[in-house]
Amino acid sequence: MAGLNMINSCEKCTAGWKNFKHLSKSELETVNSNRYEATFKPGEIMIKQGSPASNALFMATGIAKSYIEGNNGKNLILDLEKPGSIVLGPGAYVNSRHNYSVAAITSIQACFISADIIKQISRTNSAFAESLLEDFCRRAVRSHNRMVSMAHKRMSGRLADILLYLSNDIFGNDDFDMILTRQELGEMTSMAKECVVRIMKEMEDSGVISSETSRIKILDKGKLISLSEKG
Amino acid sequence: MAGLNMINSCEKCTAGWKNFKHLSKSELETVNSNRYEATFKPGEIMIKQGSPASNALFMATGIAKSYIEGNNGKNLILDLEKPGSIVLGPGAYVNSRHNYSVAAITSIQACFISADIIKQISRTNSAFAESLLEDFCRRAVRSHNRMVSMAHKRMSGRLADILLYLSNDIFGNDDFDMILTRQELGEMTSMAKECVVRIMKEMEDSGVISSETSRIKILDKGKLISLSEKG
DNA sequence: TTTTTGGATTGATAAATATCAATTATTATC
DNA sequence: GATAATAATTGATATTTATCAATCCAAAAA
């Protein structure tokens, strides 16, 4: 199954899930021989909400979105997934179903890793188990921050939060490709796509960002932070 | 430290955290001899956001609220805590700080249990560690549901969700004391307290509930569910 | 290059929600 | 039980946000 550019083995994987550092050679080899590489084109669904949570998804390259499909046809983007992180939804430990979907934003290389094997190893390797706990907890903290942002802030504050997230956590750069559509930005901030456009225009008019549809540059991070804090 | 009515020892605790069933006699005794009972009056803060996450809080009796204190003086109630559940915020595994506060709604008996001891036991008892994971994951799933409710539903749908939660998950009864103030209902649904009043009045006028300020009765659960689904 | 298609944008308008200012219960305190 | 303090309620109004209906643009396909 190996052979693509970056992924020859878990051990040599340039994206390497940091939790794997807790694994012994033989444990890592177990994972390595039970993984399935896959590539995805933008827009393709990688994990479907409601399907059996039989696999975790390791992100080797590219960016994906985790999102909940609401019952009225609306989506809520929970988070973006970047290389080096593993997507093992909490459903794996609750009802063995994925409680959200994951879809490729960019082209993606990924590995499916059996959830059973991850659970199995976590039963015999406590350091690995603890690192799993840490992963879930980090997501919980982030999820709480998202909730506060959405519950307490008006549109400009919410959009500021997402732009700061993209800049600080996803790209590590104030100048980046806007890989999300206006619609998706809305699904991440709980606002209509038209409102995304309008608020971004306001930000551009006031010199906070420069925006060229598919490219964003943060010109005044201080102002953006203050928009976020003002709410 | 023991001696109050319900709590003589972890082993005999009538509220018993179900995860403790995975503990050996001696592990349970370790927990038992390292717990600190406390009682709280309504309104008292049990865990303060930002403080060191040195203890988990086990709920023996009563109801508490977990809530995030936003920076503009607004609170967001994340969830209610009821007897038998343990409150070990994700911060314990992220930055060793509580990332939300917990306060008593009713009178409460609780035990503080050292977070270090819980972590320690989870390192040697994998079944217990897995049950901890399950707890965190259950909360994550619930948190996702809350996010969808808040992001996709209008006020009546959000309030319907909370009333159903109180009825199904907290009291197990369609007729219950409304232990939350209108303000708190608002902090749970992201709406102004005046709006809570108005929507509840609408529900009463349309025969969905009967409401007497501090007592709620769900008269037509079908309609309430349909309000929740309509969004 | 031309056509097609889906996303982006704009303006006008409607709907939802918050805020403000009183007023009226309720509950707690003396 | 009288009084004070807190919560609930109400109506009027302002703000925020969503929706609708056209266009406009830009990338992909023919």
Burial class (CB in 10 A: 0-12, 13-18, 19+), A72: exposed
CB contact under 8 A, B71 and A139: no
Greatest CA span in chain A, whole angstroms? 58
Phi-psi region of A194 (alpha: psi -120 to 50; beta: other; left: phi over 0): alpha
**Whether A198 CB is under 7 Å from strand C:** yes
How many residues does this entry show for chain A? Answer: 231
Burial class (CB in 10 A: 0-12, 13-18, 19+), B218: buried
Nearest CB neighbour to A136, from listed B68, B119, B140: B140
For the domain spanning A18-136, the CATH number is 2.60.120.10
Chain A residue numbers with beta carbons less than 8 Å from the beta carbon of B68 are 144, 147-148
Q: Which CATH class is domain B18-139?
A: mainly beta
Q: Which residue is nearest to nucleotide D18 (CA to C1')?
A: A192
CA distance A135 to chain B (A): 9
Chain A residue numbers with beta carbons less than 8 Å from the beta carbon of B100 are 144
Q: What's the whole-number mean pLDDT along residues A36-46? A: 94
- A16, pLDDT greater than 80: no
Q: What are the residues facing B114 on neighbouring strands?
A: B55
Rg over alpha carbons for chain A, rounded to the nearest Å, is: 19
Tens digits of pLDDT across chain B (231 residues): 334 456 678 887 877 788 889 999 999 999 999 999 999 999 999 999 999 999 999 999 999 999 999 988 899 999 999 999 999 999 999 999 999 999 999 999 999 999 999 999 999 999 999 999 999 999 999 999 999 999 999 999 999 999 999 999 999 999 999 999 999 999 999 999 999 999 999 999 999 999 988 999 999 999 999 999 998
Contact of B186 with chain A, judged by CB distance below 8 Å, is answered with no
DSSP B165-206: HIIIIIISSSEEE--S-HHHHHHHHT--HHHHHHHHHHHHHT
Q: Using one digit for the tens of pLDDT, what is the confidence trace for A157-166?
A: 999 999 999 9
Q: Tokens for A193? A: 């796509």
Q: What's the whole-number mean pLDDT along residues A138-161? A: 97
Nearest CA in chain A to B76: A148
In this structure, what are the phi and psi dihedrals at residue B41, rounded to the nearest 5 degrees? -95, 160
- What band does A3 get if pLDDT is binned at 50, 70 and 90? very low
For the domain spanning A150-230, the CATH number is 1.10.10.10
Closest nucleotide (C1' vs CA) to B184 is D7
In this structure, what are the phi and psi dihedrals at residue B36, rounded to the nearest 5 degrees? -130, 115
Q: CB B130: neighbour CB atoms within 10 A?
A: 20
Q: Considering the domain B153-230, what is its CATH architecture?
A: Orthogonal Bundle (1.10)
Rounded CA gap, B227 and B221, in Å? 10
Rounded CA gap, A71 and B134, in Å? 26
Q: What is the pLDDT of residue A9?
A: 84
Lowest mean pLDDT among A7-16, A86-95, A98-107, A217-226: A7-16
- A219, pLDDT greater than 90: yes
* % of residues, chain A, pLDDT over 90: 87
Rounded CA gap, B26 and B199, in Å? 53
- What band does A5 get if pLDDT is binned at 50, 70 and 90? low
Q: Cα–chain-centroid distance for residue A18?
A: 16
Domain ranges of chain B: 18-139, 153-230
Q: What is the pLDDT of residue B6?
A: 61
Nearest CA in chain A to B88: A137
pTM of the model: 0.94
Strand C bases, protein C-beta under 7 A: 7-12, 16-21, 25-27
Is there a contact between A36 and A7 (Cβ–Cβ < 8 Å)?
Answer: no
Give the sign of the dihedral formed by CA B21, CA B24, CA B26, CA B27: negative
Mean pLDDT of chain A: 93
Instruction: Give the SS3 label for residue A216.
Output: strand
Chain B residue numbers with beta carbons less than 8 Å from the beta carbon of A76 are 147-148, 151-152
CA distance B161 to chain A (A): 14
Nearest CA in chain A to B151: A190
Is there a contact between B118 and B126 (Cβ–Cβ < 8 Å)?
Answer: no
Nearest CA in chain B to A69: B148
Q: Determine the residue type at B30.
A: T
**Whether B202 CB is under 7 Å from strand D:** no
| Among A208, A34, A20, CA closest to A128 | A20
- A63, pLDDT greater than 50: yes
Is there a contact between A67 and A187 (Cβ–Cβ < 8 Å)?
Answer: yes
Q: Using one digit for the tens of pLDDT, what is the confidence trace for A167-204?
A: 999 999 999 999 999 999 999 999 999 999 999 999 99
**Whether B190 CB is under 7 Å from strand D:** no
- A32, pLDDT greater than 80: yes
Rounded CA gap, B226 and B4, in Å? 44
